[in-house]
Structure 1
């Protein structure tokens, strides 16, 4: 997978865990929203490459009001230096750049 990289979160409801793999030139960020409401977050990657890069997002959100859990997978392009995300309640989101 890679080596753990330092992460910080200014929101007690969101836990962040980062991994970098210099051989595969890949960075991943795991975001866990532990609250009952959606959380808006900004993910900033220090030392990230410049320019637009492809990334993959995989998100698992718990069911609300007896709904089934949802799984979202997508590939998009964005600038990895600073991104905004809306995390659903009780969700796990994995963002992976590069590779």
Structure 2
């Protein structure tokens, strides 16, 4: 009876993980964290790019094909956008961009 008891307890003991499996588990975990961080950084970048493109579209629409206005847009856009826009965090990962349209458009002239 003691022989059967010894066999049953040996079968119930979980097998030990090899050091190679432990390293592979840590590598997979680190890769997943890196991918998530890159995804979040990409979302932030997309928000800013969308805001800049919308602002550029607004300025081009306001120019209505005037060549002098479009030249000023090329040279002054980044400076005017920096001066007349704000950004602040919304939530943990989001960012909200606001543009003061009247001041922005008057800066472009």
TM-score range, shorter chain: under 0.3
RCO higher in structure (CA 8 A, sep ≥6): 1
Q: Which has the higher helix share?
A: 2
Structure-1-length-normalised TM-score:
0.26
Highest CA radius of gyration, 1 or 2?
Answer: 2
Q: Which has the higher strand share?
A: 1
Structure-2-length-normalised TM-score:
0.25
